[in-house]
Chains A and B, each alone.
Chain A
Amino acid sequence: MAEIIRMPEVLAGTAEAAVQTWNVGMGDVLAQGAKLAEIETEKAVVEYIAETSGTVGRLLVAEGQNVAVGEPIVVLVAEGEGDAEIDAALAAAGVTVSPAPGAAATASPTAPEVPVPAPVSVVAPVRRFVSPLVRRLAQESDVDLGSLTGSGPHGRIVRRDLEKYLELRAAELSRSAQEAAMPSPAAPLDPVVSASGDNVGYVDVPLDRMRKAIANRLTLSKSTVPHFYLTADCRVDELLALRARVNETAVRRVSVNDFVLKAAAAALVEVPEANSIWNTDSIRRFDRVDIAVAVAVDGGLTTPVLRDVARTPLSEVSASVADLAERARAGKLRQHELEGGSFAVSNLGMYGTASFSAILNPPQAGILAVGAAQKRPVVDAEDVLSVATVMTVTLSADHRVLDGAVAAQWLAAFQRRIENPLSILI
């Protein structure tokens, strides 16, 4: 008798779950107690152990496909049973969806009833639903729709999504253009000076496009992305010493921030879950580490993205950052240099800021706010009080992507690197 196995309720109150990985394939003989699948919910991934034995007759859901708890996911059959028995069992259970045998397991495109996503990889080529209007406008505006999040039905990218995106991009571009046109201190927009009757004067500074973009983007981020914050005090005496030695022989001076970038990249490699962004109906996990660097420019800031930081030598990182910063201030960054990245670093240490927390720049899921390296009293493991150079860093994380434990792992990894800086040079 064909037996239907249903999606288990992994946690109380869980409405739906997905088979993250099938541990069996069509025709596999399954013993009681064998591992059937890894079930993924919003909160956990658990192994699902077969409670009965049998042969896998039909996989009903594809990997990654969310189904309601209680929905059939696989049919086990006895010796000599086949499709007829499976269909009968499913019909008896009132299940109307009956994909071709093996469809889910082989991701065959001939099984129309069950949408089968392509094999899961770090960057899944998921079908993106885009309205015809947006498709056309995106082509005209040279927008990679992969960087947009759809708010329409089924995650469809609709006009409003594109408009928000274009507004931001236009702000960035206009700022670049403006700066390119005016390399000297930007001519300020005429402020409106006013004075009320009781001589309390004020100035209304008109918003330029960058200011509007910063306002819109960060308001949106702060109000829609669930931020949480972790702080660590890093001892950087060794780092500073190492930096001094490096700079003795370096062609160009390496900054503390260059080390921070390398340490952050190494931590992202060590904790790959953190190298991810929110993608509406999935988490997009990258296999390369791209980090945005906040650069203050006249009238605002911009965030060029440094590529493949983990595999780039420190000296080259340093040179790239300097180049990007210089071109950012000159308004000569190109659009593609402003796109992408899963993580960002913002450093106000040069201003003497002890510590601060930063607002995420979507879709990046993390931003590290770096304060000044300051001499502070510290108590070591043997309760000895001493003076050390300490740099406070604060990680802002997107809780949709990173949970507290992962963020903490990342921060610990970062701290380990920054406090043992030789590992950065290796």
Chain B
Amino acid sequence: MPKRTKLETGVDWIELSTTDSDWQAADPDLLGTMLAELHLIRAFEETVLELAGEGLVHGPAHSSIGQEGGAVGSIVGLRSSDGVNGSHRGHHQFLAKALTHVSGGVIDPANAVDAATQEVLQRTLAEILGLAQGYCRGRGGSMHLQWFEAGALGTNAIVGGGAPLAAGNAWAQKHSASSSRHDESSDLTINYFGDGAAQIGSVLESLNLAAAWKLPVAYFIENNLYAVSTRADEVTADTRFSVRGQGFGVPSWRVDGMDPLAVHLATEEAAALMRAGGGPTVIEAEVYRFFHQNGSFPGSAFGYRTKDEEAEWGARDPLQLVARKMVERGLIDDAGVAALREEAQRAMKDASAELVEVDPDRPGKRRIKPGLWPSPDFVNVGVRGDASELEGLPSAPDADVATRPIKFVDAIAQLMDRRMELDPRIVVMGEDVHRLNGGTNGATKGLVQKYGEGRVLGTPISENAFMGLAGGLALDGRYRPVVEFMYPDFMWVAADQVFNQVGKARHMFGGDNPVPLVLRTKVAIGSGYGSQHLMDPAGIFATSPGWRIVAPSNAADYVGLMNAALALEDPVLVIEHVDLYGVADEVPEGDLDYVIPPGSAAVRREGSEVTVISYLSMVKHALEAIDLTGVDGELIDLRWLDRASIDWDTIGASIQKTNAVLIVEQGAQGTSYGAWLADEIQRRYFDWLDQPVARVTGEEASPSISKVLERAAIARTEEVVAGLEAVRAGFGG
């Protein structure tokens, strides 16, 4: 008979509900502010549905009508420097945060709308309509609402996508606490998501990471019982979603979301814990959306819930509850409530009138005022920054400057040491970067000893979470995260955060808020790690918006390129290669402070017969192949690979000289880098080409573990030789 002991998590999981005495004790200003915010949000959402019904909202209008209590109750007590982010259904949270910010946290229900409030309503509506005066210049629309000044970090159309970003914001808040303009207590972040997101990986990874690092972030589950039309009990065993906290050691509260005061009280308790350094919390608020997922029809119209159920929840409308309790206490009367309702509706009517007008071509219909749309030429503005932040930084020393010998990988560690010493914002994170004497390859050697585990963070094996955390840190702006992916293929695990969030954030939210982040990874082709570790990520990143890419072929370049990456306000992928780590290389004497800016390709060999374009370790192979064949190739080492940073001047001048191009890379065909480049070259230089753009890549297959098959799958010197011979035949040589 085994001994069996029942284990406990020892973590609080509290169901909180209000009593009459709570309502009696509640600050009249708090209740009045909540009532005003509830009414303003309700009137706002009604206006959105009205405009959507007229076809004036492009895309979905996810109404929060019925769910206002959760947002208002949890946000009304927050500081402006506290952050919130949310999901596709985020109008109410955004408005609650913005209204609380502009009002200083107190709104008089008898005089709820002032100029600042009116502006919030109009600009938010303008954003949802996709107009230039919106908070994100019309780019974000209903699902991407961001206003940093108010602490609205950005709502998110990817289910669970905001959870890691919120953790990043909280990391910045925790580590900046002592310098915050408040007291010693930390600011905090609330990430809102629905019951449908409560089991997605990024949320669970983030819960774990936030708990491990004790970050002041609340994961606020708006449990409205339905993921679109799928009932909660169909997708999870315990429909009390706050149970998640038990698995990650996170204190959790469960509360009636139709009771804004209950939500407020639960949030106050959670906030006290978070601000005091107690780590993350979970708050689950049970709410009900009165309409379907989007649009102005009730869910019962789609058959997944009953009219009786809707009537039952409708009777628990948070607007009515707060009004009733305030009337009971004599804080307002029915006429005052009706006046508030009218004021809110009038404010929205005014806001609409600024944005839409009678359509002269369709009597009885309205249209967007034509002058309010963003200009079409705004389409690409702000995909990245303009790199002007690099101006004035030291440029690379002349070629004849004295050098000192150094192993390539040691140059990485020494450079990071130099930067971390001078720039306290830099934080390094990744798997094992704090151990093994500099991570798995030695690139972070000595850093943790010097800067401690507060700046050299060994992460859980949760690429999506720590990539997103870094993204949140970057968006906050007070820190410069340097993330390491042990192998590039892991980007697929973190794909949402890498491409949907970090890559798109700046542009999607209007183009102004930068995302300074460095992602380091190493191409390990040739190391025998097989199909799931041996990709070259350049092609995928080059075809994804927002990212800049560097791929140094030598240590001296690494210094200049990494310095540029760390100084830039954009996300930059720094690609390394295992073949280069051990190379006995050299860097210039003196401080490693110089910068090699975007648009700085290097001509490694001048030639007349073909322009050979390569990067990273293949530069050396290309040089060998040129020597072996005797083809007079001009070898360009790209250094910067992305669309915005590539050096067209150098490439163009060379092509106009040689009239032939060979793009050389090592990895598999499918995700290869050269495909987009070849396309761009043939369009830019068609009339300068004497033969088709030629390419050297690996095979279709991902490299296998078997040494022979791995070699067969990749390109090295021999493949470049074959490529050069093909080009030679092409020019009639």
Measured between C-beta atoms, what is the minimum distance from A330 to chain B in Å?
A: 38
In whole angstroms, how far apart are the Cα atoms of A295 and B620 in the complex? Answer: 56
* Interchain CB contact under 8 A, A132 and B729: no
* Interchain CB contact under 8 A, B729 and A158: no
Is A282 an interface position by the 8 A CB rule?
Answer: no
A102-134 Cβ-contact flags toward B at 8 Å (1 or 0)? 000000000000000000000000000001111
A156 CB contact (under 8 Å) in B659, B688, B691: B691
A153-165 Cβ-contact flags toward B at 8 Å (1 or 0)? 1001011110000
Taking CB as reference atom, which chain B residue is nearest A136? Answer: B687
In whole angstroms, how far apart are the Cα atoms of A135 and B659 in the complex? Answer: 13
User: A131-B691, A133-B659, A156-B691 are known contacts. Are A161 and B732 too (CB-CB below 8 A)?
Assistant: yes
Taking CB as reference atom, which chain B residue is nearest A157? Answer: B732
* Interchain CB contact under 8 A, A133 and B729: no
Q: Which of A19-55 contact B (CB under 8 A)?
A: none
Measured between C-beta atoms, what is the minimum distance from A148 to chain B in Å?
A: 12
* Interchain CB contact under 8 A, B689 and A160: no
Measured between C-beta atoms, what is the minimum distance from B656 to chain A in Å?
A: 9
Q: Which residues of A contact B686 (CB under 8 A)?
A: 132
Taking CB as reference atom, which chain B residue is nearest A152? Answer: B732
Is A247 an interface position by the 8 A CB rule?
Answer: no
Taking CB as reference atom, which chain A residue is nearest B688? Answer: A133
Q: Which residues of A contact B689 (CB under 8 A)?
A: 131-133
In whole angstroms, how far apart are the Cα atoms of A263 and B688 in the complex? Answer: 47
User: A133-B659, A159-B659 are known contacts. Are A151 and B732 too (CB-CB below 8 A)?
Assistant: yes
* Interchain CB contact under 8 A, A132 and B731: no
- Chain A at the B interface: mostly helix, strand, loop or mixed? helix
In whole angstroms, how far apart are the Cα atoms of A152 and B733 in the complex? Answer: 8
A132 CB contact (under 8 Å) in B687, B730, B733: B687
Q: Which residues of B contact A151 (CB under 8 A)?
A: 732
Q: Which of B700-733 contact A (CB under 8 A)?
A: 729-733
Measured between C-beta atoms, what is the minimum distance from A167 to chain B in Å?
A: 15
- Chain B at the A interface: mostly helix, strand, loop or mixed? loop
In whole angstroms, how far apart are the Cα atoms of A160 and B731 in the complex? Answer: 7
In whole angstroms, how far apart are the Cα atoms of A152 and B688 in the complex? Answer: 16
Taking CB as reference atom, which chain B residue is nearest A159? Answer: B690
Q: Which of A139-175 contact B (CB under 8 A)?
A: 150-153, 156, 158-161
User: A133-B659, A159-B659 are known contacts. Are A153 and B729 too (CB-CB below 8 A)?
Assistant: yes
Number of residues on chain A facing chain B (CB within 8 A) = 15
> Size range of the interface on B?
10 to 19
B401-428 Cβ-contact flags toward A at 8 Å (1 or 0)? 0000000000000000000000000000
Measured between C-beta atoms, what is the minimum distance from A165 to chain B in Å?
A: 13
In whole angstroms, how far apart are the Cα atoms of A156 and B691 in the complex? Answer: 9
Q: Which residues of A contact B733 (CB under 8 A)?
A: 160
Taking CB as reference atom, which chain A residue is nearest B729? Answer: A153
Q: Which residues of B contact A131 (CB under 8 A)?
A: 659, 689-691
* Interchain CB contact under 8 A, B730 and A133: no
Q: Which of A62-92 contact B (CB under 8 A)?
A: none
* Interchain CB contact under 8 A, B688 and A160: no
In whole angstroms, how far apart are the Cα atoms of A132 and B659 in the complex? Answer: 10
Q: Which of B664-701 contact A (CB under 8 A)?
A: 686-691
Taking CB as reference atom, which chain B residue is nearest A130? Answer: B690
* Interchain CB contact under 8 A, A135 and B732: no
Measured between C-beta atoms, what is the minimum distance from A135 to chain B in Å?
A: 7
Q: Which residues of A contact B732 (CB under 8 A)?
A: 150-152, 156, 158, 160-161
* Interchain CB contact under 8 A, A159 and B731: yes
Measured between C-beta atoms, what is the minimum distance from B472 to chain A in Å?
A: 48
In whole angstroms, how far apart are the Cα atoms of A158 and B609 in the complex? Answer: 12
Q: Which residues of B contact A153 (CB under 8 A)?
A: 691, 729-730
Q: Which residues of B contact A135 (CB under 8 A)?
A: 687
In whole angstroms, how far apart are the Cα atoms of A314 and B691 in the complex? Answer: 49
In whole angstroms, how far apart are the Cα atoms of A210 and B573 in the complex? Answer: 58
* Interchain CB contact under 8 A, B730 and A152: yes
* Interchain CB contact under 8 A, B687 and A158: no
* Interchain CB contact under 8 A, B730 and A158: yes
Taking CB as reference atom, which chain A residue is nearest B687? Answer: A136
In whole angstroms, how far apart are the Cα atoms of A158 and B610 in the complex? Answer: 13
In whole angstroms, how far apart are the Cα atoms of A364 and B453 in the complex? Answer: 83
In whole angstroms, how far apart are the Cα atoms of A136 and B686 in the complex? Answer: 10
In whole angstroms, how far apart are the Cα atoms of A133 and B691 in the complex? Answer: 8
A134 CB contact (under 8 Å) in B690, B729, B730: B690
* Interchain CB contact under 8 A, B687 and A133: yes
Taking CB as reference atom, which chain B residue is nearest A137? Answer: B687
* Interchain CB contact under 8 A, B687 and A152: no
In whole angstroms, how far apart are the Cα atoms of A134 and B659 in the complex? Answer: 10
B296-313 Cβ-contact flags toward A at 8 Å (1 or 0)? 000000000000000000
Q: Which residues of B contact A159 (CB under 8 A)?
A: 659, 690, 731
In whole angstroms, how far apart are the Cα atoms of A78 and B689 in the complex? Answer: 53
In whole angstroms, how far apart are the Cα atoms of A158 and B732 in the complex? Answer: 7
Taking CB as reference atom, which chain B residue is nearest A161? Answer: B732
Taking CB as reference atom, which chain A residue is nearest B656? Answer: A133
In whole angstroms, how far apart are the Cα atoms of A132 and B691 in the complex? Answer: 8
Measured between C-beta atoms, what is the minimum distance from A151 to chain B in Å?
A: 4
Measured between C-beta atoms, what is the minimum distance from B573 to chain A in Å?
A: 33
* Interchain CB contact under 8 A, A152 and B731: yes
In whole angstroms, how far apart are the Cα atoms of A327 and B659 in the complex? Answer: 39
Q: Which residues of B contact A132 (CB under 8 A)?
A: 686-690
In whole angstroms, how far apart are the Cα atoms of A134 and B733 in the complex? Answer: 16
Q: Which residues of A contact B731 (CB under 8 A)?
A: 152, 158-160
Q: Which residues of A contact B659 (CB under 8 A)?
A: 131, 133, 159
Which 7 interchain pairs have the tightest Cβ spacing? A151-B732, A136-B687, A131-B690, A159-B690, A133-B690, A152-B732, A158-B732
Binding site for A on B (CB under 8 A): 659, 686-691, 729-733
> Could you list some 8 contacts between A and B, CB below 8 A?
A131-B690, A131-B691, A132-B690, A133-B659, A152-B691, A152-B729, A152-B732, A160-B732
New A-B contacts (19) at CB < 8 Å, excluding given A134-B690, A153-B730, A160-B732? A132-B686, A132-B687, A132-B689, A132-B690, A133-B659, A133-B689, A135-B687, A136-B688, A150-B732, A152-B691, A152-B729, A152-B730, A152-B731, A152-B732, A158-B690, A158-B730, A159-B690, A159-B731, A161-B732
